[in-house]
Chains A and B, each alone.
Chain A
Amino acid sequence: MSGLVFNKTLKKLTWGAEHYKAITGGFGLGPLPDGDYEVKTRNVVAGSHLASGFENTLTGNKWFIPIVPTFPESRNGFGIHPDGNVPGTKGCIGLQSSDAGSFWRRWLNTTLSARPTQITVRS
Chain B
Amino acid sequence: MKNSLITLIALLLLGCGSKDLQVKDALISILNESTDKQEQYKACILLAELPADDELIDMIDGDNDQPNFCKTFLLAKYLGSQEAIDQFISAFPSNNQLFTLFEKHSETGYIFGILPPAVKLLSEFARDDDQALDKLMGILTTADGAHGESITEVVADIYMRMPSRVELSFKRVKPSESDILLIKKISEHKRNL
Interface string of A85-107 (1 = CB under 8 A from B): 11001111000000000000000
Query: How far is it, in angstroms, between the C-alpha of A81 and the C-alpha of B185 when the chains are bound?
Result: 19
Question: Do residues A75 and B153 form an inter-chain contact, with CB atoms below 8 A?
Answer: no
Question: Considering only CB atoms and an 8 Å cut-off, how many residues of chain B contact the other chain?
Answer: 27
Q: Is A40 an interface residue (CB 8 A)?
A: yes
Is the C-beta of B159 less than 8 angstroms from some C-beta in chain A? Answer: no
Chain B residues near A76 (CB-CB < 8 A): 99, 102-103, 106, 144-145, 147
Q: How far is the CA of A64 from the CA of B145 in the complex (A)?
A: 11
**A77 contacts B143, CB within 8 Å?**
yes
Looking at B109, B113, B148, the one whose CB has the most chain A CB atoms below 10 A away is B148
Interface bits A37-71 vs B (CB < 8 Å: 1, else 0): 00010110100011111100000000010101000
Binary A-proximity of B133-149 (CB < 8 A = 1, otherwise 0): 00000000001111111
Q: Does B174 count as interface, using CB distance less than 8 angstroms?
A: no
CB proximity of B117 to chain A, nearest CB, Å: 12
Residues of A within 8 A of B147 (CB): 76-77
Q: Are B149 and A92 in contact (CB under 8 A)?
A: yes
| Cβ of B131 under 8 Å from chain A | no
When the two chains form their complex, are residues B106 and A77 in contact, meaning their CB atoms are under 8 A apart?
yes
Q: Which of B103, B114, B179 contacts A45 (CB 8 A)?
A: B114
Chain B residues contacting A72 (CB-CB under 8 Å) are none
Q: Are B110 and A43 within 8 A (Cβ)?
A: yes
Query: Looking at the complex, which one of B99, B110, B153 makes contact with A51 (CB distance below 8 Å)?
Result: B153
B185 touches A64 (CB 8 A): no
Least CB distance, A102 to chain B, in whole angstroms: 21
A119 to chain B, nearest CB (A): 14
Contacts of A85 in B (CB 8 A): 153, 186, 189-190
Q: Provide a sorted-by-A list of 25 A–B residue pairs whose CB atoms are within 8 angstroms.
A: A27-B152, A27-B179, A29-B144, A42-B109, A43-B106, A45-B113, A50-B113, A51-B150, A51-B154, A53-B150, A53-B153, A53-B186, A54-B114, A64-B110, A66-B146, A68-B106, A76-B102, A77-B106, A81-B146, A85-B153, A85-B186, A90-B146, A90-B148, A91-B145, A92-B146
Q: Which 6 residue pairs of A and B lie closest in terms of their CB atoms, listed nearest first? A: A77-B145, A77-B147, A51-B153, A90-B148, A43-B109, A91-B145
Interface residues of B (CB under 8 A from A): 99, 102-103, 106, 109-110, 113-114, 143-150, 152-154, 178-179, 182, 185-186, 189-190, 193
